[in-house]
Structure 1
């Protein structure tokens, strides 16, 4: 299995409501893209976040499922929404478990 972790930072005009909608769009990917075992997303509450506001973890069956996820049209639509609402930075970590 592969764990995919992403943390997101948004500009000052991005609302909590927009971030909450982004979380729902990301969670919906589990039912739209094969190879996803589990997906979790939520708003950060830690003061240690260095300004990152939203976290995402996706567990995939294998590396091939992760590779198929990136270019998938449903994933790209979610990424487009994140950019539309003011995504300014992200950090991605992928590792096998």
Structure 2
């Protein structure tokens, strides 16, 4: 199994409503992309966030499923939305369990 963790940082003009919509779109990918075992996302409330406002964890069956996730059309649609609302940086960690 593969654990995929992503932290998202947005521009100041990005609203909480837009971030909530991003979370909704991200979590809906479980129904759209094969190989996803579980997916969770939410607003970061930690005071140690270094500006990263949304967190995402995705559990995949294997590395092949992770590799197919990135270029998948539905994932790219969500990435386009994130950029549209002001995505400024991401931090990604992937590891095998």
The TM-score normalised by the length of structure 2 is: 1.00
Q: How much is the aligned-residue C-alpha RMSD, in angstroms?
A: 0.3
Residue deviations 1:51-91, cap 9 Å, x none? 10000000000000000000000000000000000000000
- SS of the equivalent of 1:6 reads strand
| Gapped regions of structure 1 (runs ≥ 5) | none
Q: Does 1:16 align with 2:16?
A: yes
- SS of the equivalent of 1:59 reads strand
Q: Does 1:84 align with 2:84?
A: yes
The TM-score normalised by the length of structure 1 is: 1.00
**Shift of residue 49 of structure 1?**
0.5
Residue deviations 1:27-67, cap 9 Å, x none? 00000000000000000000000010000000000000000
Q: Does 1:70 align with 2:70?
A: yes
CA distance in 2, matches of 1:76, 1:14: 20
CA distance in 2, matches of 1:89, 1:47: 18
| Gapped regions of structure 2 (runs ≥ 5) | none
**Shift of residue 8 of structure 1?**
0.3
- The number of residue pairs the alignment matches comes to 97
- Equivalent residue number for residue 47 of structure 1: 47
- SS of the equivalent of 1:90 reads strand
